Amino acid sequence: MSVESVLDRIDSQLPDSLERLKAFLRIPSISTDPAFTQDCDRAADWLVADLRSIGIDAEKRVTPGHPMVVGHVDGPGPHLLFYGHYDVQPVDPLELWDNDPFDPQIEDSPKGRVIRGRGTSDDKGQLMTFVEACRAWKEVHGALPCKITFFFEGEEESGSPSLVPFLRDHADELKTDIALICDTGLYDSRVPAITTMLRGMLKQEITITGPSRDLHSGMYGGPAINPIRVLAHIIAALHDENGKITVPGFYDGVTEISDELRAQWDSLGFDHAGFLKDVGLSELAGEAGRSALEMIWARPTCEVNGISGGYTGAGFKTVLPSKASAKISFRLVGDQDPDAIDKSFRQMVEAMLPRDCTVTFKSDGAAPASVMSIDAPAFEAARKALSDEWPDEAAFIGSGGSIPVAGYFQSVLGTESMLIGFGKDDDQIHSPNEKYDIESFHKGTRSWARILDALSAQ
């Protein structure tokens, strides 16, 4: 099967593809607001009908929350799972939108044509790049080049409460050779990327309690323990002078990146000085001797996200507070075990408490990192296919944040994921006037056609 004829079809059908995307975007499928429950249901129905229009055996599956959409098409070669989500973020504040967020418009911008509206980049426009690639392939060749399962979620923007139970209940149906996730972006406007590292997360709020009530500092300052001073001592002890994290056993499971990957990242020419200058900074912090990209993509962190205690209003109230609290988060990489780190962190804090202080811990969730094995031939095949479509060679990159579904595919289905997306940093996802470049939509669709061609040959 020739991919060139599919690419020609994608080019000629771009206006029709954009009209279908507009119809999808007009459905206000906001998953976090119960007022839009019926609209989420409508979006699922729209996807089912669209998949069926190209011969996919698709149906809507009921969950305790918003429905899943699952579709199957048989074929030769490897079995692929494609994941996206049809729910979108709320649009508030509405007054900051230039137009109705659910009346998508194609506009000219200083950087080219864009389609603007809620969900254009996150994730309806991205999702439809794959569907449109499949549509063109089917129209040209009469069949898709391999076996594909389509899996679309309606709760990604509201924490995915139904996702893991659904994966467990339907693991036999959803387990495939590889998963494709289109909820990421380009490295920059010329360099496409496959995200292969996603950091995990551990979040804890600690509260140090000392005296039974707030105390007058003139009377008790000196003799009485101050919980803020205790908390500050604990926080200061979390890093050494070189920026390394001192929680015992913290680096268990952290591995160094390969020389090949380091060279690939170096070739991206990341401007760490400009990156810091944009936020009013000038020097790299963190672990000494590490590049900015390495710290963001492949190294763990410990950060204090908030501190509270004592009087913080206008003027002074000279008290020793009874309590002091801090919210502390850990970004995790590699095979770090969030449960083991949590236990070690608690033990470290408890060991540092003076006799008259106690501590309580309030966990806000933990998840391990996801690291894809790029040694599998399919990853290099997909990278080369992306490189054929874009001006510069595609790169394997990491992500400073988390996309939990990739970890769930690993842990529940035993399936590795390729995270390939075409969003840009200025797409304003989750914000007013969200947009998706027409180039991203068009070349993203062409990219998926090339990737399908490459993976079907594996």
Task: Tell me the DSSP string of 321-382.
Answer: -SEEEEEEEEEE-TT--HHHHHHHHHHHHHHT--TT-EEEEEEEEEE--EE--TTSHHHHHH
* pLDDT, average across residues 436-452: 98
Based on the domain organization, do 63 and 144 belong to the same domain? yes
Based on the domain organization, do 123 and 216 belong to the same domain? no
Based on the domain organization, do 34 and 167 belong to the same domain? yes
Based on the domain organization, do 387 and 353 belong to the same domain? no
Residue 22 has a pLDDT of 98
**d(C-alpha 324, C-alpha 311), whole Å:** 11
Looking at the predicted structure, is the pLDDT value of residue 458 above 90? no
Which residues partner with 399 through β-bridges?
198
Based on the domain organization, do 243 and 132 belong to the same domain? no
* pLDDT, average across residues 385-394: 97
- The predicted-structure confidence for 45-80, as pLDDT tens digits, reads as follows 999 999 999 999 999 999 999 999 999 999 998 999
For 365-380, letters b (16+ CB in 10 Å) and e give: ebbbbbbbebeeebbe
Q: Which distant-in-sequence residues (6+ apart) come within 8 Å of 78 by Cβ?
A: 146, 147, 176, 177, 178, 378, 455, 456, 458
Based on the domain organization, do 165 and 215 belong to the same domain? no
Count of CB atoms situated within 10 Å of the CB of 220: 15
The answer as to whether 10 is a domain residue is yes
Q: What is the CATH number of the domain that holds 89?
A: 3.40.630.10
> How many structural domains does the chain have?
2
Global pTM exceeds 0.85? yes
The answer as to whether 290 is a domain residue is no
* pLDDT, average across residues 198-227: 96
Q: What percent of the chain has pLDDT over 90?
A: 96
Question: Do 123 and 85 touch, CB atoms closer than 8 A?
Answer: yes
Based on the domain organization, do 88 and 236 belong to the same domain? no
Based on the domain organization, do 104 and 55 belong to the same domain? yes
Count of CB atoms situated within 10 Å of the CB of 258: 11
Give the CA distances from residue 157 to residues 29, 34, 88, 183, 191, in Å, rounded to whole numbers and listed in that order. Answer: 10, 13, 6, 12, 27
Give the pLDDT band (50/70/90) at residue 403. Answer: confident
Domain span at 380 = 3-198+369-456
Give the pLDDT band (50/70/90) at residue 318. Answer: very high
Question: Do 118 and 185 touch, CB atoms closer than 8 A?
Answer: no
Of 39, 44, 48, 40, the closest CA to residue 72 belongs to 48
Looking at the predicted structure, is the pLDDT value of residue 264 above 80? yes
Q: What is the CATH number of the domain that holds 335?
A: 3.30.70.360
